[in-house]
Structure 1
Amino acid sequence: MSATDQLVRRLRGTVLPAVATPMDARGVVDFEALRGYAERIAAHPVGGVAVWAHTGRGLYLSEADRRRVLGVWRAAVDRPVVAGVGVPRSTPVTGLRDAVDATVAMAVQAAEGGADAVMVYPLAQLDGDEDAALALHEEAASASGLPVLGFFLHGEAGGYPYPPRLVSRLLALPSAAGVKLATLDRAMACQDAIRAAQSGGKLVITGEDRMFGPSLMWGADSALVGIAAARVPLTAAVLDAWRDGDHGSFVRASARLDAFAEATFLDPIEGYVQRMLWAAVWEGLIPEESAHDPYGPGLPAAERQAVVECLERLAKDPDAA
């Protein structure tokens, strides 16, 4: 059995938190806080974790910090670690070749650090060139020796939508383990991509924090989501109930998760990283002084209060995670 097939078997039906990176207000990573956070996340029933992803501000980290962040998670988690790879913000690029080279270099770094797979950020430089998109994934897989995940990322996070035909072609690659969908609020695009992905027998991974329950009903079979950076049990409860066919529990858990998503994934959408950090503080996952997102928009105190009030309401529900 190939490494790609093994990864598919291990991840299907599981939740992978897109984990946050504890930082101070200057963007300095707090590695002591990170180790505690990693240990707490690893204690939950996760299928693995996703590092260097959008929630963890992976493209903003220095190469040295990325390596150390991956090392912390590799030491803490005995399950698959998926690393997001793309063009670091500090890397100057003048065209597609530069962007591909930077992405492939990051994939090699992930392999050297012990990652089990890479999730390839969509590159703006591809400009709709499907053949180039396939070549990007093939190069990342070949250079790193790791399975790859495609990443259908909404434009508000710097991505662009993969058309259904590209999703199908991508999943036909032997090195492709699956595709992660993060269309934000585009129900039809999500449905079309899931339909295109289902025929390949690979992972259909929801990243739809605001359409989590519906995306499972439409056919997603696994999850890699930023919302699980704080609320792992609640996220897993929705997926588990759906897979078990316990529709009553699914509706109740999905309603609770939707309430939390409504308080954390809203305009400005880039603020969700800070909101998740606030939630992680409330959960006792990271300390207050390490709950800063210097790369997102400034948010008013009222937004933090809304997040906290939502968490408090959920805590009063005996069925809440």
Structure 2
Amino acid sequence: MSATEDLVRRLRGTVLPAVATPMDPRGVVDLDALRGYAERIAAERIGGVAVWAHTGRGLHLSRPDRHQVLRIWREVVEGPIVAGVGVPRPVRPRTLREAWDATVAMAVDAAALGADAVMVYPLAQFAERPGGQSEAVRLHERVAEESGLPVLGFFLHGEAGGYPYPPELIRRLLALPSAAGVKLATLDRAMACQDAIRAASGSGKLVITGEDRMFGPSLMWGADSALVGIAAARVPLTTAVLDSWRAGDHAGFVTASARLDRFAEATFLAPIEGYVQRMLWAAVWEGLIPEEAAHDPYGPELPGAERQAVVSCLEALAKEQAGPPGE
């Protein structure tokens, strides 16, 4: 069995939290807080974790910080680690070739640090180029060749710097022997999500939902695994939805999906880049990270009322789960 086939087997039907990175207001990573957070997340019933992803501000981190982050997660997590790889924000590529080189270099680093796979951030420039699809396929091939790791495609919505992958591109990516699957994060584009899932079906590869606001529906449309930022804090809210769906417990699925949707409504809303801060607030409420490490210096300023909305939602969900007094 190849490494790619083994990864598909291990991850199908599981949730991988796209984990946050505890920082202070200046963007300094709190390594002690990170280790404590990693230990708590690793104790949940997860398939693995995704580091250097959008939720963890992977492209904003310095190379030494990225290395420290992955090292800590590798020490703590026994399951697979998927690392997001792309063009780090401090890098200013003058050409598309330099952007490719930066992406490949990040993948090679991930392999050296013990990652099990890489998820390739999309290069939006491909969307406007006549040969863009072939170039995108070649980038994934080169990442796999030079890192030696299985790759995941990443259909990322434009608000986060991605572009819509045509169904044909998804089919071509998943035809690569090194491709383990594709993650879909279309944000709120139901038709695009459905079309992508249809394109991926029958490939034998992972169809990974990253649809925080369409999580339940994406499973009903055919997604079979999850890699989501909404699991960066309240992991059981997410796993309950996937588990009940795969078990055929439709009543449980409806209940679990409704609970997760309420949390998503409080955390994934305009400005959408504010979701990272909202998830950090949720992690503080849950005791996963300390207050002083719950800062996202790369997102928008948010009013205090938004934090209260997140906390109120979590308190209500916790109260419902506990049931009436005396039960």
User: Which of the five TM-score ranges fits, normalised by the shorter chain?
Assistant: over 0.9
The equivalent residue for 2:117 is: 117
Deviation at 1:124, TM superposition (A): 1.9
1:284 maps to 287
Give deviations 1:39-61, integer Å, cap 9, x for gaps: 00000000000000000000000
Cα gap change, 1:205 to 1:309, in 2 (>3 Å): same
d(CA) in 2 for partners of 1:199, 1:6? 18
Instruction: Write the distance in 2 (CA, Å) between the matches of 1:211 and 1:46.
Output: 20
8 Å contact kept, 2:127–2:163:
no
| 2:140 aligned partner | 137
Distance in 2, matches of 1:86 and 1:52, equals: 9
1:219 equivalent in structure 2: 222
Partner of 2:239: 236
**Residue in structure 2 matching 1:173, options 176, 194, 199:** 176
Separation in structure 2 between the aligned mates of residue 95 and residue 181 of structure 1, nearest angstrom: 27
Shift, 1:96, TM fit? 1.1
* Cα deviations by residue, 1:108-167 (Å, 9 ceiling, x for unpaired): 000000000000000123234000000000000000000000000000011111000000
Letter of the structure 2 residue corresponding to residue 37 of structure 1: Y
Gaps of 5+ in 1: none
Q: TM-score under structure 2 normalisation?
A: 0.97
Please say if 1:188 is aligned against 2:191. yes
SS in 2 for 1:29: coil
Residue 60 of structure 1 aligns with which residue? 60
CA contact under 8 A between 1:96 and 1:126: conserved in structure 2? Answer: no
| Equivalent position amino acid for 2:88 in 1 | P
Q: Amino acid of the residue matched to residue 70 of structure 1?
A: L
Offset at 1:253? 0.3
Write the distance in 1 (CA, Å) between the matches of 2:144 and 2:243.
31
Give the equivalent residue in structure 1 for 2:14: 14
1:62-211 → structure 2 map (5 Å cutoff): 62-128=62-128, 129-211=132-214
Q: CA RMSD in A?
A: 0.8
The C-alpha deviation readout for 1:295-319, integer Å capped at 9, x for no partner, is 0000000000000000000011127
Separation in 2 of the partners of 1:103 and 1:240?
34
Bigger Cα displacement from structure 2, 311-320 vs 150-159: 311-320
- TM-fit CA distance, 1:94: 1.2
Deviations 1:7-60 (A, max 9, x none): 000000000000000000000000000000000000000000000000000000
Counterpart residue number, 1:43: 43
> Aligned with 2:251: secondary structure?
helix
Q: Tell me, which stretches of 5 or more residues in structure 2 are unaligned?
A: none
**Aligned in 2, Cα 1:199/1:319: closer, same or farther, shift over 3 Å?**
farther
Question: Which of 299, 304, 321 in structure 2 is aligned with 1:301?
Answer: 304
Query: Given the alignment of the two structures, is residue 274 of structure 1 paired with residue 282 of structure 2, yes or no?
Result: no
1:163-206 alpha-carbon deviations (Å, 9 max, x no partner): 00000010000000000000000000000000000121100000
TM-superposed CA distance for 1:84, in Å, is: 0.0
Distance in 1 between the 2:216 and 2:92 partners? Answer: 39
Secondary structure at the aligned position of 2:155 is classed as: strand
Moved more, 204-213 or 123-132: 123-132
- Equivalent pairs counted in the alignment come to 320
Query: Hey, what's the Cα distance between the residues in 2 that align with 1:318 and 1:24?
Result: 33
**Could you report, residue by residue, the CA deviation over 1:78-117 in whole angstroms, capped at 9, with x for unpaired residues?**
0000000000000111121011000000000000000000
Asked whether the 8 Å contact 1:205–1:222 carries over to 2, the reply is yes
- Which letter does structure 2 place at the counterpart of 1:199? G
TM-score, L = length of structure 1: 0.99
Secondary structure of 2:285's counterpart equals helix
SS of 1:106's partner is helix
Mapped partners of 2:159, 2:127: distance in 1 = 16
Distance 1:82 1:318 in 2: 31
Contact 1:95 1:125 in 2 (8 A): no
**Residues 226-270 of structure 1, C-alpha deviations (whole Å, 9 max, x = no match):** 000001111000000000000000000000000000000000000
Question: What residue identity is the alignment partner of 1:259?
Answer: R
Aligned partner of 1:27 in structure 2 is: 27
